[in-house]
Amino acid sequence: MSRLIPAAERIARARAIIQQARSLPFPPETEGGRSNFSFVAKVKDLLRQARDLVKFISMTAGVSAEMKEEVKKVYQEIEVADREILG
């Protein structure tokens, strides 16, 4: 059985994954640059992992309003990272 990860740790891990997506090196323009399929797939996968980590936190009973706000901020960070990296 998998170990339960506390909500605060999930948020921290999600932010680390978002940073990991931002730090991926862009492929050279000769290989397609930002539209390189492999690069786009890696970025999308990392952002999906971050989203999956925090997906159910706001639906969990006993979670504080502050934690729910942090989840909303993480979703916003994911959207901003997606636009910055692939935009």
Q: Whole-prediction pTM value?
A: 0.89
CA distances from 41 to 24, 46, 64, 73, 84 (A): 12, 9, 34, 23, 15
pLDDT-derived band at 1 (thresholds 50, 70, 90) equals low
> 38-56, pLDDT tens digit by residue?
999 999 999 999 999 999 9
